[in-house]
Amino acid sequence: MAKHHQVLIIGGGTAGIMVAAQMLRKNPKADIGLIEPAEIHYYQPAWTLVGANTYDYDKTARSMASVMPSGVNWIREYAETFDPENNKVTTAVGNEFTYDFLVVAPGLRMAPELVKGLPEAMDKNVICSNYTNPVHTWEVLKNFTGGTALFTQPTTPIKCGGAPQKIMYLASDYFRKHNLSDITDVVFATPGSVIFGVKPIAETLMKVVDRYDINLRFHHKLVEIDAEKQIAWYEIGKDVKAGGCVVISGDNDGKGVDESIQYNYKDVKVTQEGNRYGIHFDMLHLAPPQAAPKFVANSPLANEGGWVSVDDQTLQHTKYANIFGLGDVAQLPTAKTGAAIRKQVPVVVGNILHLIKNNSLGNKKYDGYSSCPLVTGYGKMVLAEFVYGSKFKPDPKLKQFPLLIKDSSKEHWRLWILKKYILPYLYWNKMLKGIEV
């Protein structure tokens, strides 16, 4: 016999916990089931700081039991199959759960297998990632003695698109403070064609790039990691929208370099084989490719890319009216961040409560707001805030903190205080408790 819940939530990350907590605040008698097998809940935004030894990793973890809102039926199992026609979810151990409304928010998964050689190389020796093991990132940084420091990101969507840059700026600042800048070339290889898609932020970041003397290599498509030889292999894809590569044409002194592909050229060792370019590195930080969890990607809820297909504004599923998706797993044309979830949750909760009461959607809409706190050095930060269409749009709610400054698109130490102290406090004490901030 399937167990029934009025609202069934998949995922106990930021999105799932916040939906449950906000719903219970608005309707304390709500019957909510939440499927989540993990025993630990992490505050992942602080992992950027852990990788640069300016935040304690242990403080980013709390027990799932401590953040689970009281009144929620916590189902400690893995969701495995969806049967939306019959309002049913089956778990990996075969238990069945039915629902009136389903909220799908299991986040995404790391998919290193999408780059040849990466699964074996992850988090070993001089290859590190704040996404998977920020403690190892600090070990790599601490033991670095000069050479090519390569930072890169994949062509897939990733959590917080700015994170691969943040650790690069912190590392560059670290190199300066430890007299390593003169013997180090910092290279950022990205599939994009610009440093950041929001113009005022990009302008600020290019000044940061100049300050640290960073070599940007656009249109990179990472295809293979040779851990033994310490080479990251890229394909050229300047005309490929999703990503691409670095091309060095002409002499190795930087003349004849295609400037739409290279900015601030550095003559680091590059091996060419056919249409592939291998950048030799002495340390490599990467964001691994990321994808939707397989049980979602293989389900009737997914679009062609494997993500949950929802309406951009209402977050209601495009086919099933009683299903909503949000957070990293949702197919939304904005950045996958906790800040985005902060704005998505009230829309999902409002719409479900309106459907329960009036059998129609409410008037709450999500405008695509997301933000990326771009740490640009120890004690410095820029806050990239934007909505659909990559339009810069600061959140008026953040202005209520007297500590903050008028223009979040410029670097400031007060924004660092926001990142390191205020946001973690708000996360644990307000957001996860269902208080809208």
d(CA 86, CA 79): 16
d(CA 72, CA 87): 19
Residue 372 a catalytic site member? yes
d(CA 278, CA 352): 51
d(CA 178, CA 24): 51
Residue whose pair of structure tokens reads 């930080």 in the numeric block: 285
Bridge partners (DSSP) of residue 371 are 385
Query: Which of 176, 139, 420 is CA-nearest to residue 285?
Result: 139
In this structure, what DSSP letter does residue 251 have? -
Which alpha helices (DSSP H) does 134-186 contain, by range? Answer: 134-143, 163-177
**Which tokens belong to 332?**
């939304």
* Strand blocks (E) in 281-357: 283-286, 290-291, 323-325
d(CA 337, CA 161): 9
SS (H, E, C) 414-426: HHHHHHHHHHHHH
Residue 245 a catalytic site member? no
Of 115, 158, 355, 372, catalytic: 372
d(CA 223, CA 215): 20
Of 160, 186, 353, 404, catalytic: 160
Active site residues per annotation:
160, 372
